[in-house]
Structure formats: C-alpha cells, structure tokens
C-alpha cells in the first residue's frame, strides 16, 4: 500500500476493491480553468492559498474517471474531454487529452470491452470522450459496444438554446448517441447493476448524478462536479460554473455528512493530487484524508 498520489505524470492508475467489485481510477488527461470561475464567490486571496493559478489565472485540474468491473459488466464513469479539439481550444483550456483506447490501456482494456458508460452530466470535460470520428466525416460511439446512461433531464438541459450554458455543452458529445439509440435515459435515482446506484445531485447542473458503488465491504461515491476537488469541500466553495449554486449547497449538505458518517470512499474527478479519499469532520469542517490504494502503472 502507498499513500495517494500518482507515481508520475500521466501514469496514475489506482486499483482497489469493494467486495467482489474491482474499481480503477484512470487518468483521462488534464485541463486548466479560470480559478475565479472554479471557486465562485470565494475571493482570490483565499482560493489561491490552496490552488496556485498560472499567469493566466487558470488552475490545473485532472480528469479522473472510474472503471467498475463486477464480473458481469465493465462500466466506465465519465469519459474525459476526448480528442476533438483544435489548437485554439487546446490553448485556451491547456488540454492534455486521450482517446478511449489510450485511456483504458493502463487497465489492460480496449474501448470495445466497455459495456456501459455512465455520464454524470454532459459538460465537455465529462462527456467529450463519448464519441470519435467515424472515418466518413461523422461521429460514432467511442465505446462501440456500450450503452450510455444519463439522466433524461440532463439531455433536455444540454439541448437548451441558452447563452449561459452553451459553452459547457457540445451537442456532438451526445446527439450521435441519441441518433444511434445508444442513450439509456433514467429519471431520478436508478440502479444500473447489482452494486451501482445513480443518485441525483442537482446544482452544478439541474440533473447531475453521482454514481455510487455499494457493497457489503464499502461504499464508493464518484462526486463529479458536486465536489470537484478536495479544495471544494468547504460548503461555500462552489463553482461559478454551477447553474444553481444554492441547490449545490443543499446537495453538499446532504451528501457530505452522510459520507463522513458512513465512511465512504470518495473520488474527486478534478483533483490533480488526491483522486481518492475518505472524509472526516474536524471542528465543524469536512476534510479529506488520502485513501490507501494499490498504485499500478502497467501498460503505461
């Protein structure tokens, strides 16, 4: 067992178990986003203490995704930003990205081995890897044998013609899947396997969901953009990107005490240093403690 942290840039694969379920946190790449937007109303003198910005006021973020293998199906939670970016966009977001096969290579898998993709929501840094060019000028599923499960309301939100949200959603990340009847739309809490429960976690978007792996041994929660990094554990630290920040606050107050009380392992999708942790409450504040795991870099 080793302390949390990747053994080298781009080389991290965290593998652990929950009963008979094997879980692997994979590195889908990284991006840089504006620090002020990432911390909302929190002043820069406060957030810059914990997230040092670059000369463009951006902070470094990872795109950590989760592979779940239960013996019956292989499930991937979120797909990163994908590779369909031009040079200008790559510069704006400081993107370092991977295609589906490169993402899965450290786990010894290829994209055709995935049975189900769970999209927590459809923002580009979570769903951009859903599709790939088909060679004929169109787009097709990047995971050719998978269904993609997403909240019905999230698809409806992503289709809004709204100036406030359109920069975060790209229709090409999900419409080709809808066209090919690959979307599995759920409405509210849903089970998508014997050990996988999807729980609504509104706020960042009205219909974001938090996938939960629940076994007799432990509970693992993939927090997505409810708490994107350990720096966002304080309740007021809510992103400016959130569509309903007061709802985010209420959702955090519902999830985090439960995670502390029940001893969940939690995955921080955008944390570059602590992707996997357990939570505790100290002096009225929720804090993260790096979880022990087996670091495995095979295939890198």
| Per-residue tens of pLDDT for the chain, all 300 residues | 233 444 444 446 899 999 999 999 999 999 999 999 999 999 999 999 999 999 999 999 999 999 999 989 999 999 999 999 999 999 999 999 999 999 999 999 999 999 999 999 999 999 999 999 998 999 999 999 999 999 999 999 999 988 888 889 999 999 999 999 999 999 999 999 999 999 999 999 999 999 999 999 999 999 999 999 999 999 999 999 999 999 999 999 999 999 999 999 999 999 999 999 999 999 889 999 988 654 443 332
From residue 4, alpha-carbon distances to 48, 68, 108, 224, 226 in Å are: 22, 19, 22, 19, 21
**Which position has the token pair 């199906």?**
73
- Name the β-bridge partners of 234: none
* The domain made up of 13-295 is a member of CATH 3.40.50.720: no
**Which position has the token pair 């923002």?**
123
Can you say whether the dihedral through the CA atoms of 99, 102, 104, 109 is positive or negative? positive
Please state, in angstroms and rounded to a whole number, the distance separating the CA atoms of residues 209 and 225. Answer: 9
Can you say whether the dihedral through the CA atoms of 158, 254, 190, 23 is positive or negative? positive
Q: Which two tokens stand for residue 233?
A: 């554990």
**Which position has the token pair 């107050």?**
253
Q: Residue 282: what are its φ and ψ, rounded to 5°? A: -135, 120
Sequence-ordered list of residues with C-beta below 8 angstroms from that of 132, at least 6 positions apart, any chain: 82, 83, 84, 99, 100, 139, 140, 141, 142
Q: Which of 65, 62, 66, 38 is nearest to 50 (CA)?
A: 38
Please state, in angstroms and rounded to a whole number, the distance separating the CA atoms of residues 89 and 297. Answer: 30
Provide the residue ranges of all domains of the chain, joining segments of one domain with +. 13-295
Sequence-ordered list of residues with C-beta below 8 angstroms from that of 133, at least 6 positions apart, any chain: 84, 139, 140
Q: Show the beta-strand stretches assigned E in the chain.
A: 13-18, 21-34, 58-69, 74-77, 96-97, 116-118, 131-133, 139-141, 147-151, 183-186, 190-193, 196-200, 209-214, 219-222, 265-267, 276-282, 285-290, 294-295
Q: Residue 27: what are its φ and ψ, rounded to 5°? A: -95, 110
Helix or strand (DSSP H, E) at 15: strand 13-18
User: What was the pLDDT predicted at 292?
Assistant: 63
């Amino acid at each position: 067992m080793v302390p949390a942290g990747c053994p080298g840039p781009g080389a991290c694969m965290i593998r652990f178990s929950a009963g008979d379920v094997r879980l692997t946190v994979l590195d889908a790449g990284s991006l840089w986003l504006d620090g002020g937007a990432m911390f909302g109303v929190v002043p820069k003198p406060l957030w810059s203490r914990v997230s040092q910005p670059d000369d463009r006021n951006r902070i470094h973020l990872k795109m950590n995704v989760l592979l779940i293998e239960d013996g019956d199906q292989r499930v991937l939670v979120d797909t990163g930003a994908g590779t369909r970016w031009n040079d200008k966009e790559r510069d704006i977001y400081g993107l370092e990205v991977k295609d589906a096969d490169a993402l899965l290579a450290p786990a010894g898998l290829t994209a055709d081995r995935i049975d189900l993709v769970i999209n927590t929501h459809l923002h580009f840094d979570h769903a951009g890897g859903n599709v790939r060019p088909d060679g004929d000028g169109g787009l097709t599923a990047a995971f050719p044998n998978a269904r993609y499960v997403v909240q019905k309301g999230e698809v409806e939100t992503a289709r809004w013609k709204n100036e406030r949200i359109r920069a975060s959603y790209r229709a090409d990340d999900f419409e080709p899947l809808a066209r090919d009847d690959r979307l599995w739309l759920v409405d509210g809490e849903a089970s998508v396997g014997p050990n996988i429960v999807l729980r609504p976690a509104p706020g960042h978007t009205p219909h974001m969901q938090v996938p939960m792996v629940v076994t007799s041994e432990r509970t693992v929660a993939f927090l997505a953009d409810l708490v994107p990094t350990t720096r966002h554990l304080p309740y007021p630290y809510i992103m400016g990107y959130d569509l309903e920040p007061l709802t985010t606050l209420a959702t955090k107050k519902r999830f985090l005490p439960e995670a502390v009380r029940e001893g969940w392992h939690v995955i921080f999708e955008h944390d570059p240093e602590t992707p996997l942790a357990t939570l505790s409450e100290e002096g009225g504040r929720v804090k993260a403690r790096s979880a022990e795991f087996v670091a495995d870099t095979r295939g890198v």
